[in-house]
Amino acid sequence: MSDIIQLLPDHVANQIAAGEVVQRPASVVKELLENAIDANASEIKLIIKDAGKTLVQVIDNGKGMSVTDARLSFERHATSKIKAAEDLFQLNTKGFRGEALASIAAIAHVELKTKQDEEDLGTSIIIAGSEIKSQEVSVTPTGTSVSVKNLFFNIPARRNFLKSDTVELRHITDEFHRVALAHPNIAFAFYHNGSDMFNVPQENYRQRVVHIFGTKTNEKLVPVEEETEVLKISGFVGKPEFSKKTKSEQFFFVNQRFIKSPYLNHAIKSAFEGLLKDGYHPSYFLNLTVDPKSIDINIHPTKTEIKFDDEHTLYAILRSAVKHSLGQFNIAPVLDFEHQSSLNTPYDYRDKKASTPAIEVDRSFNPFSDDSPARQKTTSHNTGFKSAPTESWESLYVGLESKGNNSQSDFSQVTFESESKNESIFSDSSIETKKSTFQLQQKYIVSTLKSGMLVIDQNRAHQRILYENFLRHITIKEATSQQLLFPLQLHYTPNETIIIEDLKADLEHTGFVFSELSAKEITITGVPVGVPESEVSIIFEQLISDVENDVPDANFSTADLLAKSMAKSLAIKNGQSLNSTEQEHMVNSLFACKEPNVSPTNRPTFITMAVDDIEKKFM
Ligand code: ADP
Ligand code: MG
């Protein structure tokens, strides 16, 4: 049999490598920015068109390349950054694999312009699909400019796989933030489709964090500084009260490289123990400096994961440094015997008073009497509770009836209420049979059915009701809004603002009114009827977190996500007690829904138990 193994041609090998290095436009952004940093640039400009699908260009004022280097930079395994395998363990540069430019040139149209300071003229190279189209002497400023156009032009499958512009742009901004945060001593500018996304001078770390995450961030930063033989830590953690539902403000940089480390993240979380509400994540912006020998960066093609020699020690140092900072700035309870009661008290219980457990005993209860006082007690309690609101309702409508205007129907409802009240005073047993629901553990609404029993999960049911309501408003575009007395101003990071901008039309259809929606601030002058003003920021935060967490794809409907998210924020929670009118209203509204049996997230809203099943239990 003849030999069948062949060496792959270079352009094929490059395309395969590109599959690992370049997943999306944001990967190109990362590689080009890192090359500019490695070239010691002090100013870097990023220019993007159509979320990077049409153009990603990075211009730096770094050291540039010679004519030969310019040509060689597109060869695979061509790098100026390491010479031998040992060098891998003392890296001071971002790049070292010599793969990025070769990979990018295999799957896009690339134009490179570069000039070294000491030269008068530079070089310009055009390359597409690994093929050099032209190489010329050119007039260009010192430094390098790389333009990457039409990414994946020769791999339609990859191009089709790209997400919407919003999503791709979000990935790009994420990468950009990571690089910009790691290098406050470099000035950055970022333009998308001609508009200015970001522009920062050389500055200190605090200024950089504030520039990226907004002026309000300044007050929430707690400095963390620690220096030991193996590890130097500097940076900030966010005060616990500013913790977020998303993990969008969690940054570790190791030797100025952004990394992901669930293990070290855990160290921070444990330093915050007892200070965070459930489901909230601490913010942190931490720079760790370690001996390059003690880490291995070469375990992942995109270099976002690294291996530490001694993770356990780093964990312990990090945890104690963060704890110390929180304590020092009076955020965490420090060990103080006078205040020991606050120690280890979960955040949300801090200000609650302890209640004395009470057992209610009805001493006059007689199980053999039909007219049991226990019953009387509950019903009279109900009546007493109900009478006040009903009377005041009635007084509201007194004048209306004689005028005979169109509130007639409302009035008749009120009359009906008071009738039932009168009935209850005279005949206790009649209301007992009329009352068709009760609440169990402030979590479930129990109701009787002809065939048995119905148990409704109040939170899920309410989510379903609100969800269908919001969805209807969004689709028929006829929601009513209530105007706010004072406009509400909210501040978000550029990324978060993009998410809200994207949902603006849908949000308006639910009843939100924006008087301003820009990177600097969001001003709201109207909210959907029934949405309390105090809930608005919670709704938006939930919305941002939902969008970020289930990175929407092409067939995702923003309307649906918005309706789900708002329903989740506004639905009655477990633990909330409901009076019988509210309970009945809930049951009726649920069964008026199109899909009453599941919550918006597809969980059951109620269960039923047939009398037969109950009977079986008694056998
Ligand atoms: P790596 O960064 O891993 O070395 P790349 O393919 O990204 O591999 O780049 C190859 C080489 O091209 C680099 O080692 C560097 O010498 C040169 N180079 C790339 N971009 C620039 C730039 N912006 N300025 C100067 N030199 C650059
Ligand atoms: Mg590189």
DSSP secondary structure string for all residues of 560-583? HHHHHHHHHHHSPPTT----HHHH
For ligand 1, is residue 41 a contact (CB within 6 Å)? Answer: no
Pocket probe mutation, ligand 1, options 101, 113, 179, max atoms within 8 Å of Cβ: 101
Mutate to test the pocket of ligand 1, among 68, 79, 103 (most ligand atoms within 8 A of CB): 79
Do 235 and 288 lie in one domain? The reply is yes
**Residue 323: closest CA among 277, 252, 270:** 270
Query: Within 13 Å, how many C-alpha atoms sit on residue 137's CB side?
Result: 3
The reply to whether ligand 1 has any atom less than 6 angstroms from the CB of 65 is: yes
Domain annotation covers residue 377: no
Contacts of 489 (CB under 8 A, 6+ apart): 521, 522, 523, 524
Of 328, 357, 379, the residue that ends a domain is: 328
- The predicted-structure confidence for 580-617, as pLDDT tens digits, reads as follows 888 988 988 898 888 888 898 888 999 988 888 888 88
Residue 390 lies in a domain: no
* Distance from the alpha carbon of residue 66 to the mean position of ligand 1, in angstroms: 12
Note residues around ion ligand 2 (Cβ under 5 angstroms). 35, 95, 100
Q: Give dist(CA 40, CA 17) in Å, integer.
A: 26
Domain boundary residue, one of 312, 328, 344: 328
Distance, in Å, from the CA atom of 400 to the CA atom of 520, rounded to the nearest integer, reads 48
Residues 25 and 125 in one domain: yes
C-alpha span between 345 and 438 (Å, rounded): 34
Whether residues 187 and 232 fall in one domain: no
* pLDDT the model gives residue 29: 97
72, 77, 79, 81: CA torsion to nearest 10: 180
Q: How many whole angstroms from its chain centre is CA 167?
A: 13
Residue 141, domain extent: 10-200
So what's the pLDDT on residue 418? Answer: 32
Whether 80 is in the pocket of ligand 1, judged by its Cβ within 6 Å, is: yes
SS (H, E, C) 217-247: HHHHEEEEEEECCCCEEEEEEECHHHCECCC
Residue 496 CA, ligand 2 centroid: distance in Å: 29
Which atom of ligand 1 lies nearest, measured to the CA of 93? 2
Please say whether the beta carbons of 159 and 153 come within 8 A: yes
Which bound ligand lies closest to the C-alpha atom of 88?
Answer: 1
The CA dihedral of 39, 41, 46, 47, to the nearest 10 degrees, is: -90
List of the chain residues with pLDDT < 70: 301-302, 330-435, 550-557
- Ligand 1: nearest atom to the Cα of 102: 6
Q: Which atom of ligand 1 is nearest to the CA of 94?
A: 2
Pair (63, 179) in one structural domain: yes
104 within ligand 1 shell (Cβ under 6 A)? no
* CA end-to-end distance (rounded Å), the chain: 78
Ligand 1 within 6 A of 60 CB? yes
CA 60 to CA 33: how far, in whole Å? Answer: 9
Cβ of 36 below 6 Å from ligand 1: yes
Local structure of 572: helix, strand or coil: coil
Distance CA 69, CA 79 (A): 9
Q: 464 and 590, same structural domain?
A: yes
Task: Pick the atom of ligand 1 nearest to 36's CA.
Answer: 23
Measured between alpha carbons, how far is 507 from 489 in angstroms, rounded to an integer? 16
In-domain check, residue 352: no
Residues 160 and 255 in one domain: no
Considering the domain architecture, whether residues 240 and 302 belong to the same structural domain is answered as yes
- Give the distance (Å) from ligand 1 centre to CA of residue 98: 7
* Cβ proximity of 283 and 340 under 8 Å: no
The finding on whether 115 has its CB within 6 A of some atom of ligand 1 is no
Q: Do 255 and 187 sit in the same domain of this protein?
A: no
Last residue of a domain, one of 200, 221, 243: 200
Phi, psi of 460 (to 5 degrees): -65, -40
CA 197 / ligand 1 centre spacing (Å): 26
97 within ligand 1 shell (Cβ under 6 A): yes
Identify whether the C-beta of residue 146 lies closer than 8 Å to the C-beta of residue 133. no
pTM of the entire structure?
Answer: 0.63
Residues in the chain: 619
- Could you tell me if the CB of 73 is within 6 A of ligand 1? yes
CA angle at 298 for the pair 292 and 299, rounded to the nearest 5°? 125
Say if ligand 1 is within 6 A of residue 35 CB.
yes
Q: What is the residue-wise DSSP string for 335-389?
A: S-GGGGGGTT--GGGTTPPP--------TT--TT-TT-HHHHHHHHHHHHHHHHH
Strand partners, 200: 188
Q: Which two tokens stand for residue 402?
A: 């004689």
CATH of the domain at 283: 3.30.230.10
pLDDT of residue 601: 83
From 33, 38, 94, 257, the mutation candidate for ligand 1 (largest count of ligand atoms within 8 A of CB) is 38
Say if residue 135 is in the same domain as residue 47.
yes
Residues 476 and 479: their CA atoms lie apart, in Å, by: 8
Looking up residue 485, the CATH number of its domain turns out to be: 3.30.1370.100
Helix, strand, coil percentages for the chain (3-state, nearest 5) = 45, 20, 35
Measured CA to CA, the distance from residue 127 to residue 70 in angstroms comes to 12
**Based on the structure, what is the number of domains in the chain?**
3
Nearest 10 degrees: CA dihedral of 209, 212, 217, 223?
Answer: -10
CB 165 within 8 A of CB 51: yes
pLDDT score at 368: 52
Q: Are both 222 and 193 inside the same structural domain?
A: no
Q: Is residue 84 part of a domain?
A: yes
Which residue type is seen at 70?
A
How remote is the CA of residue 112 from the centroid of ligand 2, in Å? 14
Same domain, yes or no, for 250 and 159? no
Confirm whether 522 is domain-assigned.
Answer: yes
Which ligand has the shortest distance to the CA of 44? 1
- Structure tokens that stand for 172 in this block: 């790009």
What's the gap in Å between 110 CA and the centre of ligand 1?
14
Pick from 156, 102, 100: which is nearest to 132 by CA?
A: 102
State the pairing for strand pair 444-449/452-457. Answer: antiparallel
255 and 194 co-located in one domain: no
How far apart are the CA of 132 and the centre of ligand 1, in A? 17
Q: Is 101 in the pocket of ligand 1 (CB under 6 A)?
A: yes
Is the shortest distance between the CB of 79 and ligand 1 below 6 Å? yes
CA distance to 204, 230, 233, 572, per residue, from 227 (Å)? 19, 8, 6, 49
Q: Does 252 reside within a domain?
A: yes
Largest CA distance in the chain: 109
Look at residue 154 and tell me if it is in a domain: yes
Q: How far is the CA of 293 from the centre of ligand 2 (A)?
A: 20
For residue 447, give the amino acid letter.
S
In a domain, 387, yes or no: no
